[in-house]
Structure 1
């Protein structure tokens, strides 16, 4: 069972490669399932006045969905394609997010927190924001947003749940209790999370989430899926062998997959 449920392509503005290139690469790698999951368009900031390449333009969203379903049909004998969306959670914009999610027949929707207000905490161009903020307060605000995302019921799983550590900024105080509360919200919502391997190529030098959080997921019965968060076709499935090995070592025996918004557990 080899899957990759987290991928991005050229439409999002900060990735390269057409959707079909990802499909062809997935076939080459022998993936069982490939999830196409590009970013939801920006809602709460004016894309024309913001930093370039932040997300897919709104007018491209229907074209993305149409192409993804066309490719699923074209390659159905070679690879099982699941059509998804990485749907940002932005506090105060829940109605607009829900409209996008309900407008298309997704197989799955990833709930990810990238924005705290207009600050994209995952953007290397916005690192100066850390200089003006207390790191513990940033972590508190971030994990509060993750909990709120879980409670909306919009999403099938939470993406890179501790991505706040991406650039290596950490408070002097421990944040384990913040992480635990986020996981409790996921558990209460009956959701899964992903093991996102992309952290291994970032300053954090650790997958999202940490082993400690993964062990809690195993103890609490929170299902896991995996994704590379590839932004180039050549990074498809990158580090997923290590991700799968870590899950097996912890004791996971199944992976969460999704079809028409239904979770299906398959042997790891």
Structure 2
């Protein structure tokens, strides 16, 4: 079973390729299941005055869902399309997030933390925000948000759970307790996580999460899926062979899949 559950498309503003181009590319590379999972519209910052091209406009959300489900039907029998959303967890916006998630018949919703307040810690244009900050305090704030995301009940799995390391800004101290507390929150709330292979093309040059966190997740019995986090069709499936090999080395034998907000495990 060959799957890729994390992809982004032209509507989000910082990716290229239509949804159909991704579906056709998925067929070309032999994917059995393709997850469409574009970013939730921005809720807590004004798109007109914030950094440009961060997420799809709110008016595009219903069009995204309609097109994705049409493609799911159109290509049935050639590729199994799963319609998802990367639903940013933003503290203080829980009611708005819940309304979006409840409004559509998603196959799955990824819970990802990108924002600490108005700072998008995953945006290369905002790395200056690290200047003068206590890195351990930033990591603590980030993992606190991950734990809160787990407790909402909004999500099916947590995306790139240690993405805070993306640009290589790491504290001098031991972040293991913070990471493990986040994984414990995942387990306690019955969620899965993903192995997001895109970290290999980031400054940190390591998948999300690290091998150590993967081993801890296996120990805790946390289910896991995989995604390329592709932002262009030619990157669909990128590094997923390496991801599967890493999972096998760690000891995983199954991957989580999602349809209609229900999880099913498959051998890989």
**Per the shorter chain, which TM-score range?**
over 0.9
Deviation per CA, 1:240-264: give whole Å up to 9, x if none.
Answer: 0000011111111110000100000
Runs of 5+ unmatched residues, structure 1: none
Equivalent in the alignment of 1:205: 205
Number of aligned pairs? 268
Mapped partners of 1:132, 1:233: distance in 2: 38
Mapped partners of 1:193, 1:233: distance in 2: 23
Mapped partners of 1:259, 1:117: distance in 2: 32
Deviation per CA, 1:118-146: give whole Å up to 9, x if none.
Answer: 00000000011000311111000000000
**Normalised by the size of structure 2, how large is the TM-score?**
1.00
Equivalent in the alignment of 1:147: 147
Equivalent in the alignment of 2:24: 24
Equivalent in the alignment of 1:241: 241
Describe how 1:31-110 pairs up with structure 2 within 5 A. 31-110=31-110
**Normalised by the size of structure 1, how large is the TM-score?**
1.00
Mapped partners of 1:11, 1:104: distance in 2: 17
Mapped partners of 2:253, 2:175: distance in 1: 28
Equivalent in the alignment of 1:116: 116
Equivalent in the alignment of 1:223: 223
Runs of 5+ unmatched residues, structure 2: none
Mapped partners of 1:153, 1:132: distance in 2: 35
Deviation per CA, 1:228-248: give whole Å up to 9, x if none.
Answer: 000000000000000001111
* RMSD, aligned α-carbons: 0.4
SS at structure 1 position matched to 2:257: strand
Equivalent in the alignment of 1:9: 9
Mapped partners of 1:35, 1:232: distance in 2: 14
SS at structure 1 position matched to 2:243: helix
Equivalent in the alignment of 2:125: 125
Following TM superposition, where does structure 1 have runs of at least 4 consecutive aligned residues deviating by more than 3 angstroms? none
Deviation per CA, 1:206-233: give whole Å up to 9, x if none.
Answer: 0000000000111110000000000000
Mapped partners of 2:36, 2:222: distance in 1: 23
Mapped partners of 1:42, 1:125: distance in 2: 17
Deviation per CA, 1:133-191: give whole Å up to 9, x if none.
Answer: 11111000000000000000100000000000000000011100000000000000010
